[in-house]
Structure 1
Amino acid sequence: MNQLVNDYLSETRNTLLKEITVLSDAQFNSKPGLNMWSIAQVCHHLVLVEEATLKAIAWGLKGNNSTQQERIQIDIILLDRTKKLNAPKIVEPDEKPFEIHQIIDLLNDSRKKLMTFLSTIEDKSILAEKSVEHPALGELFLGQWIEQLYLHEQRHIEQIKEIKLLLVAMP
């Protein structure tokens, strides 16, 4: 994994933490609408996606080299919030309330596990040679699975900002 991707992961996570640490636990768990997630649920979803990404990369490393020919432009797909993407069941968040510090611990833990795992990959070039099917984006090179983490997180940071505005407008 190159330094730029590492920087993007770190910068995006710091932005996320700045957005949520200013909230009360009540705001964090408030749903602005019937079929909408709370900010806590959005953050829990991000934890689950990071854990699933680690598993997908580990699985992909065991497989054969990719038949995938070119990189998909995942940034265009993930950063376009006009197109709704439905979360697969495996990364749907819990309905239960969370405390902010609890989610921060989960986010830190999932990131630490991911980075520790990635540090064990001796030949990083393999991340551009092997691929695994992503439930929303199609066949992705393993390196793109890492990239989709910060892009996905950026997408949800924008969602969190929107939820915060909706919560302020609620009676």
Structure 2
Amino acid sequence: MQINEKARQELFNEIDGISADNLNKKPSDDQWSIKQIVEHLYLMEGAIAKTIQGKLENGEVVNAEIKPIEAAINREVKIDAPKYTKPSNDFATLEELKKKLNMTHQKLLNIEEEADKEVLKVKGFPHPVFGQMSLKQWIPFVGYHEMRHILQIKEVKEKLGL
């Protein structure tokens, strides 16, 4: 969870102090607001944590090879967000967003701490780009995915003049 902790700290450093109006402001009609990016992050983290938990209990042994998950940071490779992680247009405050981020982060941390390490290595599920990934690799993938979107937040802040 080291990359996850680093990413979360960087995320909070990047969004702390942004007003609710600026959080919810889109740089253009076809781009996400900072709030939407953050919502996508906790939706994704929550979905991955839930899937890992389910696979720990009922998943198959896949013995997936180690994938170059660090590549998830590369913003030049465009990937459409899965439907269940697409953010809403609902207004949210920084406090609300941080509360949800903390909840999903704690859930993933609990899984990582409590799960059988061998089961995390041998069981898995497929990623749309990397293919079959072990549950063990899905945990740091969340951190790399977050780093990708921190770069996006920086881009949005620049476009909004923040």
Alignment TM class, shorter chain as reference = over 0.9
1:44-91 Cα deviation digits (max 9, x unpaired): 0000011111122122222221153x2121212x11111111001011
For the residue of structure 1 that corresponds to 2:161, the secondary structure is helix
- Say which SS state the counterpart of residue 133 (structure 2) adopts: strand
Specify the code of the residue in structure 2 equivalent to 1:152: H
Partner AA of 2:141 in structure 1:
Q
| Percent of residue pairs identical | 34
Mapped partners of 1:64, 1:34: distance in 2: 42
Moved more, 110-119 or 96-105: 110-119
Q: Is the 8 A contact 1:88 1:135 kept in 2?
A: no
Task: Give the alignment of 1:56-75 within 5 angstroms.
Answer: 56-61=51-56, 62-68=58-64, 70-75=65-70
Q: Distance in 1 between matches of 2:63 and 2:106?
A: 31
Alpha-carbon deviation of 1:133? 1.4
Query: Residue 15 of structure 1 corresponds to which residue in structure 2?
Result: 10
Alignment match, 2:118 = 125
Number of residue pairs matched by the alignment: 161
Task: Name structure 1 gaps, 5 residues minimum.
Answer: 1-5
How far apart, in 1, do the equivalents of 2:119 and 2:80 lie? Answer: 30
TM-score, L = length of structure 1: 0.89
Distance 2:63 2:8 in 1: 32
C-alpha separation between the residues in 2 aligned to 1:53 and 1:128? Answer: 16
1:9 partner amino acid: N
Bigger Cα displacement from structure 2, 105-114 vs 136-145? 136-145
Alignment of 1:1-150 (within 5 A): 6-61=1-56, 62-68=58-64, 70-76=65-71, 78-121=72-115, 123-150=116-143
Kept in 1: contact 2:34–2:153 (CA 8 A): yes
